[in-house]
């Protein structure tokens, strides 16, 4: 089943407002990553938070991770029209008997920021 599920599926706000997106997952993880995808483009990595971290900041981005609830949130402060994009969380698992692991992406939250 899908590892990461974003909520809400779509979010519409005005410039200057904050945008919060949530991600829930089902199994234990090594880290959780957030990506952005502009229309017609590839995904771009935004931030990575490890399982032993609770909060991380990068510019206007703030990510939290609650491993007990198996959830994460991405907050974009003082949003701009250029933040309009789809945002995906991706969870990383490590398989016990090998060093290999992959990312599992959710279906994303579509954010629209109006001027």
- Which residues in this chain contact other proteins in the complex, by CB under 8 A? 2, 30-31, 33, 35, 41-45, 48, 88, 92-94, 99-108
Q: Quote the least distance from Cβ 31 to other proteins, whole Å.
A: 7
Q: Quick one: 61 or 92, whose CB is closer to other proteins?
A: 92
| Beta carbon of residue 72, minimum distance to other proteins (angstroms, whole number) | 15
The residue (of 14 and 94) whose beta carbon lies closer to other proteins is 94
Strands 85-92 and 109-114: antiparallel
Nearest distance from C-beta of residue 3 to other proteins, angstroms: 11
Planar angle of CA 68, 56, 21, nearest 5 degrees: 70
Burial 34-55 (b: 16+ CB within 10 A, else e): bbbbeeeeebeebbebeeeeee
């Amino acid at each position: 089943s899908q590892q990461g599920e974003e909520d809400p599926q779509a979010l519409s706000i005005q410039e200057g407002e904050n945008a919060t997106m949530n991600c829930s997952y089902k199994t234990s993880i090594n880290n959780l990553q957030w990506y952005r995808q502009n229309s017609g483009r590839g995904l771009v990595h935004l931030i990575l938070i490890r399982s032993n971290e609770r909060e991380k900041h990068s510019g206007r981005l703030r990510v939290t991770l609650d491993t007990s609830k198996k959830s994460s949130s991405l907050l974009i402060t003082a949003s701009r029209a250029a933040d309009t994009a789809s945002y995906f969380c991706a969870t990383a698992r490590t398989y016990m008997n090998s060093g290999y692991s992959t990312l599992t992406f959710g279906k994303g939250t579509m954010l629209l920021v109006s001027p």
